[in-house]
Amino acid sequence: MKTIFYIIQKEFKQIFRNKGMLPIIFVLPLLQLVILSNAATFEVKNIRFGYIDNDHTSTSRALIAQFKASTYFNVLADFPSEVLASSAMLQGEVDVVLEIPQYFERDLQKEKHNSLGVTINAIDGAAAGVENVYVTQIIQRFNNNLKTDLFQVSDKQIQPITIETIPLFWYNETLNYKTFMVPGILVLLVTMITLFLSGMNIVREKEIGTLEQINVTPIKKSQFIIGKLFPFWLIGMGLLSIGLIIAKLIFDVPMLGSLPLMYLYTSIYILVILGIGLFISNFTDTQQQAMFIAWFFTVIFILMSGLFTPIESMPEWAQMLTEFNPIKYFVEVMRMVMLKGSGFMDILPQLSKTLLYAVIMNGLAVWSYKKTT
């Protein structure tokens, strides 16, 4: 036990002696949490909107006023022709162009129907779909108001049946996207820091030649590995603590569940990441190699974790692969505990799989590490 303590002490001295590494460990992750949580959003706002009003009546102006009043649209231009509108969209100046046909008001009064042309820049398909929903909602609301203004319904006519829906939003009543993203971004930062540090640690010993000196000492392999990885386990737990404080103070993310339960799961999860990092370091000779391999697997794990893209929307083969993704389980547990207030039995499936993952990865890491004397 004393040998492990001396190794841990040596590791902490090396960490704090490297002045360039300290900001990377403690400062940059927190800045990334604050920046990414504000920037990483699927909300579509400030849609650049242009229109072609070929009617120039009070009805067409009332329709344009609906878009100007919306908080989602930024009405930029009134194009005199379709050619100019198309040119503006080609140059990326507008995202949506609404074309109001000639005799728009007259046809509504006489024929009781008309059509509008809506052109949407669909390079980003997801954003285009949301923009189309916004446009449709505004036009439908305008249409309902127009029926009341233009077509008075007599008392003898049968009033249409209306069905009203009353939505109830659980776990995120204000539909704040940061509430959804902050727990996932926190998972991302804890994972990246612990994986990169553990992956490069033993490789660094190889590069500077101290690993050979340690190998000829009577230090056991298990003592060496525990002593090397324990400091990074503490750093990971510390990053989680600071991240949770920022999530509450800056983003006001609810924390309905048990904090000890969250720390229990995180302590096991970090063992998985440390095992992966050690396994990578055993098969690399330079820190650059370790960084590239760690980054390769991190990108795959992140994109298939459900952090940005719902797992249910992935192909079946991809959903099967996510069962081997530890980040997926951590993201699920963080959101379940923080936002839903889930208990131990609720996260038991994820906890069991993560514990099995930790045993397998650390077993492989210890087995693949060769201590030569």
CATH class of segment(s) 47-150: alpha beta
Label residue 76 by pLDDT band (50, 70, 90). Answer: confident
219 Cβ contact list (under 8 Å, min separation 6):
3, 7
Q: pLDDT of 326-337, one tens digit each?
A: 999 999 999 999
The answer to whether 51 and 64 are in contact (CB under 8 A) is yes
C-alpha span between 86 and 81 (Å, rounded): 9
Q: pLDDT at residue 22 above 80?
A: no
Question: Can you give the length of the chain in residues?
Answer: 373
Which pLDDT score, from 0 to 100, does residue 179 have? 83
C-alpha span between 357 and 269 (Å, rounded): 9
Question: Average pLDDT of 55-73?
Answer: 89
| Longest distance between any two alpha carbons in the chain, whole Å | 101
More confident residue, 19 or 73: 73
As given in the structure block, the two tokens for residue 336 are 């379940």
Tell me the backbone φ, ψ of residue 55, rounded to 5 degrees. -105, -45
Question: Average pLDDT of 309-332?
Answer: 88
Q: Work out the percent of the chain whose per-residue pLDDT is above 70.
A: 86
The answer to whether 179 and 37 are in contact (CB under 8 A) is no
C-alpha span between 227 and 298 (Å, rounded): 24
The answer to whether the predicted template modeling score (pTM) of the entire model surpasses 0.85 is no
How would you class 79 by CB atoms within 10 Å of its CB: exposed for 0-12, middle for 13-18, buried for 19 or more?
buried
The answer to whether 353 and 329 are in contact (CB under 8 A) is yes
Query: What stretch(es) of the chain map to CATH 3.40.1710.10?
Result: 47-150
Q: pLDDT at residue 299 above 90?
A: no
Cα angle at 53 between 52 and 59, to 5 degrees? Answer: 140
104 Cβ contact list (under 8 Å, min separation 6):
54, 55, 57, 59, 60, 114
Label residue 325 by pLDDT band (50, 70, 90). Answer: very high
Q: pLDDT of 96-153, one tens digit each?
A: 999 988 888 888 777 767 788 899 988 877 788 888 889 988 988 888 777 665 555 4
- Helical residues (DSSP H) of the chain, grouped into ranges: 2-17, 21-22, 28-39, 58-69, 82-90, 104-111, 125-150, 177-208, 210-215, 221-249, 259-281, 287-303, 316-321, 326-335, 348-368
Q: pLDDT of 24-43, one tens digit each?
A: 777 777 777 777 777 666 67
How many Cα neighbours within 13 Å face the side chain of 156?
0
Which pLDDT score, from 0 to 100, does residue 40 have? 65
